[in-house]
Amino acid sequence: MGNTKEIQLFETIQKESFESKKTEPIRKQAGLYLFDALSFCLGHSFEVYLPRVFPSILACIADQKEQVRIAATNALKTIMSKFSNFAIKQALPQFLSELKTDNWRSQLSTVEALGNMAFCAPKQISSFLPQIVKGLREVLNDTHEKVHDAAIEAIKKIGSVIKCPEIGDMLEIIIKALANTNNHLNEALNLILETSFAHAIDAPSLSLLVPLLDAGLTMHDNESKKMSATLMGNICSLT
């Protein structure tokens, strides 16, 4: 299939399935099924179309019709299962932007997608984890319970790929501290300070620890600042 025909195909899908003001749910489903199938068949070749495809999929994730939401979620899962480094760079800014929407369903699906990105190839995803954790942390205090719970689960998924066993053992209190710095930050910082590390701290571990240190250094009490500063120096020798 030549480039001209490929472009015409995607333009036709967009026009017929998503851009018409009178678009019916069945048309949206058909377009999403096509995206799903094309991603499966084309593999990494499909990634050049992600900037066009993602806005339609993310919009449909928040659709009023359940069948459209299901089709959009399935299409997103298929696309993400083949993510390369290029695809992550294309998708992440759109995911982070979608977290700021007022639609809780869209936020929920985006949070779940960010959590699943932890299972992308480790070398590819490591450098993006700080941005992912920062985005998830911003919705941890979301007023909608489902979004809050999904953000915690997403951070747990990131924690599940941690190779540093000492950090893995502290994952529960680290997540509590990320979700509620006022009540749990100092407890987490103190526990980390008291831990003797026999293993190097990997990138997923750092993506969870650095936000804690950042929070500690900006707290008003001197104890949090002192522990965070000490930990900053200790971590530099362990990475």
226 lies in a domain? no
The confidence score (pLDDT) of residue 186 equals 93
183 lies in a domain? no
Q: What is the pTM of this model?
A: 0.71
Task: Identify the CA nearest to 63 among candidates 111, 27, 16.
Answer: 27
181 lies in a domain? no
Would you say 200 and 238 are in contact if contact means Cβ atoms under 8 Å apart? yes
237 secondary structure, DSSP code:
T
The confidence score (pLDDT) of residue 108 equals 85
Q: What are the pLDDT digits (tens) for 77-128?
A: 888 877 887 888 878 888 888 888 888 888 888 888 888 777 666 666 777 8
158 lies in a domain? no
- As a whole number, the mean pLDDT across the chain is 84
Q: Could you tell me the CA-to-CA distances from 133 to 21, 123, 179, 232 in Å, in that order?
A: 36, 17, 11, 18
What six digits make up the tokens of 129? 């984890």
Query: Going by C-beta distance under 8 Å and a sequence separation of 6 or more, which residues neighbour residue 142?
Result: 104, 107, 148, 151
49 lies in a domain? yes
Task: Identify the CA nearest to 98 among candidates 140, 129, 54, 142.
Answer: 54
| 3-state SS class at 239 | coil
Would you say 64 and 103 are in contact if contact means Cβ atoms under 8 Å apart? no
31 lies in a domain? yes
44 lies in a domain? yes
The confidence score (pLDDT) of residue 173 equals 93
What six digits make up the tokens of 187? 């407890």
Number of domains the chain is built from: 1
DSSP for 146-214 reads: HHHHHHHHHHHHHHHT---HHHHHTHHHHHHHHH-HHHHHHHHHHHHHHPPP-S---HHHHHHHHHHHH
The confidence score (pLDDT) of residue 1 equals 47
Range of the domain at 18: 1-82
Q: Which residues of the chain have pLDDT under 70?
A: 1-7, 20-23, 119-124, 238-239
128 lies in a domain? no
CATH number of the domain at 49, please: 1.25.10
Query: How far is residue 114's CA from residue 151's CA, in Å, rounded to a whole number?
Result: 9
